[in-house]
Structure 1
Amino acid sequence: MAYPVQIGDWLVLLTAATAAGWVDAVVGGGGLIILPTLLLVSPGIAPQTAIGTNKCAAIAGTAASVITFARKVPIRWRVMVPCAVIAAVTAGFGAAAVSLIDRDLFIPIVMVVLVGVAVFVTLRPSIGVTLITHEPSRRRFLLTVALSAGLIGCYDGILGPGTGTFLIITFATLLGTEFVRAAAMAKVINCGSNVGALVFFGATGHILWALGAAMAVANIFGAVIGSRMALRRGSGFVRGVLLVTVVVMVIRLGWQQFG
């Protein structure tokens, strides 16, 4: 495969990967930083290669976030690990469908969902900030996490940006989980979906491994900083970053679709 990225563009991509790691660790959506940057500095790159190379960077940052969160936030590993496997499988199927589906059809849908998320979080300030008085039942917890892993994991394989954001909102809304713990749970599932997509794109030759490895290091750096800030500043900080990120994502997708 011809190498489509010039050496002079590496600094831009590594900076983008660091920023993406920070944003993704806090609220998700790091893909909307790396993917557009890859397409900008290398217009000839295939969409599958851009997504695959992004996954190479994203999985490193996501894994770093999981480790950082796990030291401070209780995680139900017996539930989360099998659900992460579900996300990996569905993300692999989603990645396989990229070449068969017109990805432009997903952009308006994602924009509508993101606008709904922003409105919902704005009108419900207690979501993700105020702790619930009763923990959800084990069955409800399992079903919510498993279904979220399957559906959102598939979306991650097909398109990707906003996966962590969707997971955080789902856990905060349906389970009453505060944002910091929801972010920790989202990282476990997102790690699984990244693995599934990475395996497919790697097997089909759609990853620039040298560039992906370099961006992975930068992504880890940003992810560790973002995770620590989320833990230190709490759910109110995560909620604020979430709203800003959603607005930016909507604007970026709108520009991509209609600009």
Structure 2
Amino acid sequence: MFEVATDIAALLVLAAFLAGFVDSIAGGGGLITVPALLLAGANPVQALATNKLQGTFGSATAAVTYARAGHVRLGSQLPMAAIACVAGAAGALVAHLIPAEVLRLIMPVVLIGVAGFFAFRKGLSDDDRVQRMRPAVFALTAVPLIAAYDGFFGPGTGSFFMMGFVLLAGYGVLKSTAHTKLLNFASNLGSLLVFIPSGATWWAVGMAMAVAQVAGAAIGARAAMRIGSRLIRPLLVVTSTAMALRLIWQALG
């Protein structure tokens, strides 16, 4: 049986489907699922642990969908994914050392900056751009920093990976989205492995949400591939702004 009433579980499944769709395109699925879990009665640790469980399935589905369409070669990205997994686990382990209050004050500013970049930067398309950082350097600097952030806080991780691939790796918007998903999966998996021993995960609810995440992510990834940057850019702007506003609301109590 579910850890919550059946009708509440059904609403969480719907939230997971919507989150999977949004997250596969622009990131920010946790903006939907974490508040939903908290409203369902989960404490913060249970909400984070269960969110990592169901989100891992969604990001994996999106990564495979993009790979099957030829937008990313998963094999060549495995070293980056391994780094993201370890960094995500490390971030989850040291979460208690980073004052969440500080991050809640800083991250809205950063997320609004990300939204502004994708909203107003001219020339952003699905075409590749000038590469400013070699892949090995990107893998050893940007990837572990963003993945560790995902482990100990989380909001905006997909947006930060996207911005890194666009600005530093020189990828087009669609290619950046495709490459972001495997790293998102890896950092989610790493932090999930840290959460599991805590016993906080709602397994029945989390697995039901995972099924919905898979469906939403598959549909979202196909929509992103069909429409490209014309869908990804505005949705990324909306999700980054929404995450920033939510964090500001939390900071204000």
For the aligned pair, the TM-score class normalised by the smaller chain equals over 0.9
Partner Cα separation in structure 1 for residue 229 and residue 116 of structure 2? 18
> Which residue is equivalent to 1:71?
68
Unaligned runs of 5+ in 1: none
> Which residue is equivalent to 1:216?
210
Deviates more, 1:223-232 or 1:243-252: 243-252
> Which residue is equivalent to 1:32?
31
Partner Cα separation in structure 2 for residue 118 and residue 166 of structure 1? 10
Partner Cα separation in structure 2 for residue 33 and residue 50 of structure 1? 12
Return the offset for 1:9. 1.2
Partner Cα separation in structure 2 for residue 195 and residue 133 of structure 1? 30
> Which residue is equivalent to 2:193?
199
> Which residue is equivalent to 2:161?
167
TM-score by length of 2: 0.93
> Which residue is equivalent to 1:59?
56
What SS class does the counterpart of residue 134 from structure 2 fall into? helix
What SS class does the counterpart of residue 75 from structure 1 fall into? coil
Question: Is 1:22 paired with 2:21?
Answer: yes
Aligned residues, how many? 252
Question: Is 1:103 paired with 2:72?
Answer: no
Deviates more, 1:65-74 or 1:226-235: 65-74
TM-score by length of 1: 0.91
Question: Is 1:115 paired with 2:117?
Answer: no
Unaligned runs of 5+ in 2: none
CA displacement 1:73-96 (0-9 Å, x = unmatched): 342545421111111111111111
Q: Given the superposition, is the C-alpha separation of residues 78 and 41 from structure 1 closer, same or farther in structure 2, using an over 3 Å criterion?
A: closer
Return the offset for 1:167. 0.3
Q: Given the superposition, is the C-alpha separation of residues 133 and 9 from structure 1 closer, same or farther in structure 2, using an over 3 Å criterion?
A: closer
For residues 38-57 of structure 1, the aligned pairs below 5 Å read: 38-42=37-41, 45-57=42-54
Q: Given the superposition, is the C-alpha separation of residues 228 and 183 from structure 1 closer, same or farther in structure 2, using an over 3 Å criterion?
A: same
Contact between 1:25 and 1:227, CA under 8 Å: does it hold in 2? yes
The equivalent position to 2:237 in structure 1, one of 240, 243, 254, is 243
CA displacement 1:16-42 (0-9 Å, x = unmatched): 111110111001111111111111221
Identity of aligned residues (%): 39
Partner Cα separation in structure 1 for residue 31 and residue 190 of structure 2? 19
Partner Cα separation in structure 2 for residue 105 and residue 133 of structure 1? 34
Partner Cα separation in structure 2 for residue 97 and residue 36 of structure 1? 23
Return the offset for 1:4. 6.0
Return the offset for 1:158. 0.7
Contact between 1:118 and 1:247, CA under 8 Å: does it hold in 2? yes
> Which residue is equivalent to 2:151?
157
Return the offset for 1:208. 1.1
Partner Cα separation in structure 2 for residue 106 and residue 88 of structure 1? 22
Q: Given the superposition, is the C-alpha separation of residues 100 and 48 from structure 1 closer, same or farther in structure 2, using an over 3 Å criterion?
A: farther
Contact between 1:31 and 1:54, CA under 8 Å: does it hold in 2? yes
Partner Cα separation in structure 2 for residue 15 and residue 77 of structure 1? 29
Alpha-carbon RMSD: 1.9
Return the offset for 1:101. 3.4
Partner Cα separation in structure 2 for residue 160 and residue 21 of structure 1? 16
